[in-house]
Amino acid sequence: MTALPLSRSVRRFHRRFRQARVLARALRFPHRPVNAHVIPVRRCNLACAYCNEYDDVSRPVPTADVLGRIDRLARLGTGIVTMSGGEPLLHPDLDAIVARVRASDMIATLITNGYLLTARRIERLNRAGLDHLQISIDNVLPDEVSKKSLKVLDAKLQALAGHAEFDVTVNVVVGAGRRDPDDARLVAGRARALGFAVTVGIIHDHGGQLLPLDERGRRTVEEIVSHGASTFDVASYNRFQRNLARGQPNDWRCRAGARYLYVCEDGLVHWCSQQRGRPGIPLERYGRDDLDREYHTTKPCAPFCTVGCVHRVAQLDELREDPVGALGEWFTPGPDGAAARIPGTVRVLTWMFATGSHRALFRRAAERVLGIR
Ligand code: SF4
Ligand code: SF4
């Protein structure tokens, strides 16, 4: 492994500490949002054929409005704020928005198509305190569906590898026979070679619903997940994506509107980008009653939902409510028997905080160290 410069190592340690604190708070306080997506601008500089989350006319949301939304999310006890779009780098004050998230003791993450990244832009995001950036790459060569191709974005990945002090994840997409699964393999290999984490998404329709994969697509998803994915990625694959890849429904409770919030460019809270209008309440009026109601609201779109960030948030609640049962389900062998063993560190943590006779002691100690309030 390549040694990191000291400043990067210190920053990474600090980031892991804060991530652990968000995790601990999420487990401790079920009525606080874990992750909120905020849209600072709906306009995008690209026009991917499958996307329903952009236009080419919107002006950036006034900075004061975005900062007000960040402050409101902080008051609700939100753990992670993700700037999304459209293309969030088109907002002229994105650095100030990121800095406000960090100043509010929340984790700041960004989802971008990467086209506007330069070394100087990356340095500015470093200075603003960005924690994590996700960039999606859809194919090797641009086509009529997507211009988010490795050919165009490889230079941006190299700039990130050289300058980013934040974590970078490259998301590759498989699905619906629209693109060659080998593209996803190639992109994933390139991303790993540059030292980035890789996630794989299954393409969805305009309602966030599954478009089943063919056999090659399924094999590609499993192969990418089996190569160096984090424990949580493997768990998420086993819990949700393995079924979806086979066209099977998932049995789960979507906690959108409670543990996950989608705050659109107009400042309204929706379940997610695919279910705008539900509930469609202004964030400044969104409160504990709304969080409680949506936590318990059954979402009819859940069985074939492909919205990965909401799956992950739901996993935290499964873990909080029934740690042993959740781990058993996450690490159940699939039809091929792959990726099924519960990792040693997870076993130790489960014993310390969930099943061991001193779990109350360990929990109190961890909350004290992490400053959980
Ligand atoms: S880059 Fe992202 S926001 Fe823009 S059109 Fe493509 S998928 Fe949509
Ligand atoms: S199940 Fe939840 S995250 Fe998925 S589409 Fe429906 S509301 Fe959105």
Is 361 among the domain residues? Answer: no
Is 300 among the domain residues? Answer: yes
Domain that includes residue 78, residue range: 6-343
Atom of ligand 2 nearest to the CA of 271: 7
Is any atom of ligand 1 closer than 6 Å to the C-beta of 84?
Answer: no
Q: How far is the CA of 275 from the centre of ligand 2 (A)?
A: 7
d(CA 190, CA 42): 30
| Stretch 301-307: mean pLDDT | 91
* pLDDT value for 348: 83
Answer yes or no: is pLDDT of 212 > 70: yes
pLDDT digits (tens, 9 = 90+) for 169-181: 999 988 755 567 8
Q: Give the dihedral sign, CA 326/353/364/371.
A: negative
Is 370 among the domain residues? Answer: no
Residue among 37, 50, 57, 113 to mutate when testing ligand 1 (max atoms within 8 A of CB): 113
Answer yes or no: is pLDDT of 16 > 80: yes
* pLDDT value for 21: 93
* pLDDT value for 367: 85
Q: Name the residue with higher pLDDT: 67 or 367.
A: 67
Ligand nearest to the CA of 47: 1
Is 226 among the domain residues? Answer: yes
Q: Name the residue with higher pLDDT: 173 or 76.
A: 76
Is any atom of ligand 1 closer than 6 Å to the C-beta of 138?
Answer: no
Q: How far is the CA of 254 from the centre of ligand 2 (A)?
A: 6
Atom of ligand 1 nearest to the CA of 84: 3
pLDDT digits (tens, 9 = 90+) for 120-166: 999 999 999 999 999 999 999 999 888 999 999 999 999 999 999 99
The percentage of the chain sitting over the pLDDT mark of 70, rounded to a whole number, equals: 92
What is the 8-class DSSP label of residue 88?
G
Ligand nearest to the CA of 54: 1
Is 369 among the domain residues? Answer: no
Q: How confident is the model at residue 99 (pLDDT cuts 50, 70, 90)?
A: very high
* pLDDT value for 224: 86
d(CA 113, CA 177): 22
Highest-pLDDT range among 6-15, 230-239, 304-313, 340-349: 304-313
Is 351 among the domain residues? Answer: no
Residue among 244, 275, 295 to mutate when testing ligand 2 (max atoms within 8 A of CB): 275
pTM of the model: 0.93
Q: Name the residue with higher pLDDT: 47 or 347.
A: 47
Q: How far is the CA of 64 from the centre of ligand 1 (A)?
A: 25
Is 363 among the domain residues? Answer: no
Q: How far is the CA of 48 from the centre of ligand 1 (A)?
A: 5
Ligand nearest to the CA of 45: 1
The percentage of the chain sitting over the pLDDT mark of 90, rounded to a whole number, equals: 62
d(CA 132, CA 72): 21
Q: How far is the CA of 54 from the centre of ligand 1 (A)?
A: 7
Per-position DSSP letters for 243-289, written without gaps between them = HHHTT--------BTTTEEEE-TTSEEES-TTSTTSEEEEGGG--HH
* pLDDT value for 145: 86
Answer yes or no: is pLDDT of 221 > 90: no
d(CA 135, CA 115): 10
Answer yes or no: is pLDDT of 314 > 80: yes
* pLDDT value for 1: 45
Q: How confident is the model at residue 116 (pLDDT cuts 50, 70, 90)?
A: very high
Q: How many structural domains are present in the chain?
A: 1
Atom of ligand 2 nearest to the CA of 254: 2
Ligand nearest to the CA of 297: 2
Using CA positions, which residue lies closest to atom 6 of ligand 2?
Answer: 301
Using CA positions, which residue lies closest to atom 2 of ligand 2?
Answer: 254
Answer yes or no: is pLDDT of 96 > 70: yes
Mean pLDDT score of the chain, rounded to an integer? 90
Q: Give the CATH number for residue 306.
A: 3.20.20.70
Residue among 35, 252, 274, 312 to mutate when testing ligand 2 (max atoms within 8 A of CB): 274
pLDDT digits (tens, 9 = 90+) for 247-263: 899 999 999 999 999 99
| Stretch 324-344: mean pLDDT | 71
Label residue 75 exposed, middle or buried (CB < 10 Å: 0-12, 13-18, 19+): exposed
Ligand nearest to the CA of 279: 2
Is 356 among the domain residues? Answer: no
* pLDDT value for 225: 83
Q: How far is the CA of 44 from the centre of ligand 1 (A)?
A: 6
Q: Name the residue with higher pLDDT: 154 or 348.
A: 154
